[in-house]
């Protein structure tokens, strides 16, 4: 008979072999690896199309007001309607991505939004324009949260902030083109031709996105059952860190929505009295957002997430104060700082959501996108109301209140983390 210990010895030998065998390679995408560039460029183009379509009427609001004979606050609903519909629909559409896949939902969302975008120039009334824009925003809702979840699943964790930064950079390019190109075209052929031009550009982006985006390799289908979805959402809302990130994103977007909704009215009035084409060119400052969002990963590595947020807040607040000057140079410098601060803060907050959520990432990102675009809708509308009541100073005051809110939420998070750490140490002893 073999010794009694032979079975244990054999088991130990097998276990030793298993423990000494190399771990399975990480097949997620990494900068420099195959597929990463295609993925980055595809989502960059998706970001371009999304923001170009979503904000295609924002730089044209003075022309929309004149065409339909309405006030600035009424015309602003052509932007707020789109962002508000996106905010309402982003969560249910993100649930579809959990069941049918990120790539499928993103493609369908972009396709429908592009089709509606080609109809927007033919809106016969302000009501019809707002309705079409709301439909367009609802269609776009499937893209942002699904894109964040796709990146969290397909990209290695160390490269996640940089990858999301590139997607946000696409957002900034789209926001810029949706304002600059429309301004140039509108000066010659009117706002309808300008919006139609953006629709054609978005078609090209949508086709390239579909052809370039790699098939997901790490997606696991989830459930569409409402109870499961509600449980996942409740879990995210019970996470204090996620809730703070949601509020931070909404407050940053409140500032940005207010400033960019009203700036066209300010620059067409005295003492600037600029033509539409020049106003469109001013939105080239969006390029600063492309740089700051792409650099968010380096900022986090150097300063930490909290430090990067404080830097974004300080930059945004400085821009708001500078923009109060009556010199076009000061206004431009203010817009540059506001844009840089906003996009850096957004990239840090949104990547932190994807990093923090360990399950239901699409829903976690969807909640962020929902409150983020609620911030855009609220900021755009309140910014117009504040401008009507107190001029540009009223809009700046609204923005400063919002950035102070970001500071308060971040400080509260720091205090809560210290308290929790002390409680953990006490419990350990």
- Encode pLDDT of 260-285 as tens digits: 999 999 999 889 999 988 888 888 88
Instruction: Give 15's pLDDT tier (boundaries 50, 70, 90).
Output: very low
Tokens encoding 2? 């073999």
How far is residue 152's CA from residue 358's CA, in Å, rounded to a whole number?
Answer: 10
Domains and CATH numbers, the chain: 33-211+224-428 (1.20.1250.20)
In the chain, % helix, strand, coil (3-state, to 5) comes to 85, 0, 15
Choose from 20-29, 152-161, 190-199, 232-241 the range with maximum mean pLDDT. 190-199
Average pLDDT of the segment spanning 173-198: 91
Is 182's pLDDT higher than 80?
yes
Is 6's pLDDT higher than 60?
no
Question: DSSP of 343-382, one letter per residue?
Answer: HHHHHHHHHHHHHH-SS-HHHHHHHHHHHHHHHHHHHHHH
- Encode pLDDT of 229-248 as tens digits: 788 889 999 999 999 999 99
Total residues belonging to the chain: 429
Instruction: Give 201's pLDDT tier (boundaries 50, 70, 90).
Output: very high
- Encode pLDDT of 341-373 as tens digits: 998 999 899 888 877 887 777 788 889 989 988
Q: Decide: 51 and 171 in contact? Cβ < 8 Å.
A: yes
Q: State how far Cα 160 lies from the chain centre.
A: 15
Task: Identify the sign of the CA torsion 62, 66, 67, 71.
Answer: positive
> Can you give the pTM of this predicted structure?
0.76
How far is residue 352's CA from residue 283's CA, in Å, rounded to a whole number?
Answer: 28
Q: Decide: 52 and 174 in contact? Cβ < 8 Å.
A: yes
Helix and strand counts by DSSP (H, E) for the chain: 17, 0
Question: DSSP of 141-170, one letter per residue?
Answer: TTTHHHHHHHHHHHB-GGGHHHHHHHHHHH
Is 59's pLDDT higher than 60?
yes
Average pLDDT of the segment spanning 72-100: 89
Average pLDDT of the segment spanning 69-76: 92
Is 418's pLDDT higher than 60?
no
The structure tokens 């067409």 sit at 268
Q: What angle do CA 164, 165, 167 make, to 5 degrees?
A: 60
Tokens encoding 59? 């730089």
């Amino acid at each position: 008979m073999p010794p009694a210990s032979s079975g244990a010895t054999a088991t130990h030998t097998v276990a030793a072999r298993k423990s000494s065998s190399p771990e399975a390679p990480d097949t997620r995408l990494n900068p420099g690896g195959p597929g990463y560039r295609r993925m980055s460029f595809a989502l960059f183009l998706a970001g371009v199309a999304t923001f170009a379509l979503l904000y295609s009427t924002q730089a044209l609001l003075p022309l929309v007001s004149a065409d339909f004979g309405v006030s600035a606050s009424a015309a602003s609903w052509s932007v707020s309607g789109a962002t508000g519909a996106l905010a309402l629909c982003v969560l249910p559409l993100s649930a579809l991505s959990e069941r049918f896949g990120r790539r499928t939902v993103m493609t369908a969302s972009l396709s429908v939004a592009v089709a509606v975008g080609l109809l927007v120039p033919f809106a016969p009334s302000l009501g019809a324009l707002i309705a079409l824009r709301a439909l367009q925003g609802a269609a776009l809702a499937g893209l942002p949260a699904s894109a964040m979840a796709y990146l969290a699943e397909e990209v290695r964790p160390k490269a996640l902030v940089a990858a999301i930064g590139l997607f946000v950079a696409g957002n900034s390019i789209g926001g810029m083109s949706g304002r600059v190109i429309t301004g140039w075209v509108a000066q010659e052929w009117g706002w309808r031709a300008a919006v139609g031009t953006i629709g054609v550009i978005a078609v090209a982006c949508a086709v390239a996105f579909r052809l370039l985006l790699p098939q997901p390799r790490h997606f696991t289908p989830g459930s569409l059952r409402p109870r499961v979805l509600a449980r996942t959402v409740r879990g995210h809302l019970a996470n204090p860190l996620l809730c703070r990130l949601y509020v931070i994103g909404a407050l940053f977007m409140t500032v940005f929505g207010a400033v960019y909704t009203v700036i066209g009215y300010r620059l067409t009035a005295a003492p600037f009295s600029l033509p539409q084409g020049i106003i469109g060119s001013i939105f080239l400052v969006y390029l600063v957002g492309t740089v700051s969002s792409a650099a968010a990963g380096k900022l986090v590595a150097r300063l930490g997430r909290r430090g990067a947020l404080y830097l974004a807040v300080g930059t945004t607040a400085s821009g708001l104060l500078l923009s109060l000057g009556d010199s076009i140079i000061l206004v431009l410098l203010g817009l540059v700082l506001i844009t840089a601060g906003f996009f850096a803060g957004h990239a840090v907050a949104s990547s932190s959501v994807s990093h923090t959520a360990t399950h239901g990432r699409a829903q976690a990102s969807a909640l962020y996108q929902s409150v983020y675009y609620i911030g855009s809708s609220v900021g755009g509308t309140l910014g117009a109301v504040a401008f009507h009541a107190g001029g540009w100073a009223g809009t700046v005051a609204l923005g400063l209140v919002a950035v102070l809110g970001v500071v308060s939420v971040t400080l509260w998070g720091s205090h809560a983390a210290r308290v929790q750490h002390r409680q953990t140490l006490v419990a350990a002893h």
